[in-house]
Amino acid sequence: MEVVIVPDATAGGELIAEAIAALLRRKPDALLGVATGSTPLPIYRALASKVASGAVDASRARICQLDEYVGLPAGHPESYRSVVLREVIEPLGLSEASFMGPDGAAEDVQAACEAYDRALAEAGGVDLQLLGIGTDGHIGFNEPCSSLASRTRIKTLTEQTRVDNARFFDDDIEQVPHHVITQGIGTILDARHPILLATGEGKAEAVAQTVEGPVASIVPASALQLHPHATVVVDEAAASKLKLADYFRATYAAKPGWQGL
């Protein structure tokens, strides 16, 4: 696991956007896994700016979802499909044909989960998967004590996650669904390059447990330690509880430029 400490969220977004741009230059039809929430927005803004300036061509990129609420009506503005269309697909000038995600409105949710796992494999696998992290260490919606070998499946959200997400539903927790479809931890680890971005002091403890703690299902993100090419990008606030912060700064400063992110 590589840990990169950046000054702030904007710098983190720019760094990761350049990694995506470099991937698209090598592989124009790369399959990019995207996350929702406020944390990845600087990435999407920086990437859209690169596309608009002609610094990278994203026209053949493919986009896939990390997770989706169960039970929201089609077209609901806070369904993750709607969010990805609004924050990623449209700014990059892509069409819905480039986009794939699980069906949170399916009658048979388990079949929809299995179908999405198959679809990712049939698409050649995810080249780069963006991740955020919850205050309890969850990635995707793999809540604490999720199996580290789990595949795409339905999950029940913890009360804390519903509280955290209420800000997207007019601060009304009653509007936040209780269930989601999420890529499992095993599914996430299939991605060739998972990149986790964490910003703010509120994520500092989860980051420290993820990076420096043991691999344990109580901190689902710690499974990234098992991946041969996982990157964790954190701002100074989110890095504030890392015991090895100075080491991480030194190793990144000495990294050969040709290695990229």
Residues labelled catalytic: 67, 136, 138, 143
Nearest by Cα to 205 from 130, 136, 254: 136
Q: How many angstroms separate the CA atoms of 36 and 68, rounded?
A: 10
What backbone torsions phi and psi does residue 122 show, to the nearest 5 degrees? Answer: -70, -25
Return the number of other C-beta atoms located less than 10 Å from residue 117's C-beta: 19
Q: How many angstroms separate the CA atoms of 180 and 215, rounded?
A: 24
For 9, 123, 242, 251, 257, the CA distances from 246, given in Å and listed in that order, are 19, 40, 9, 9, 20
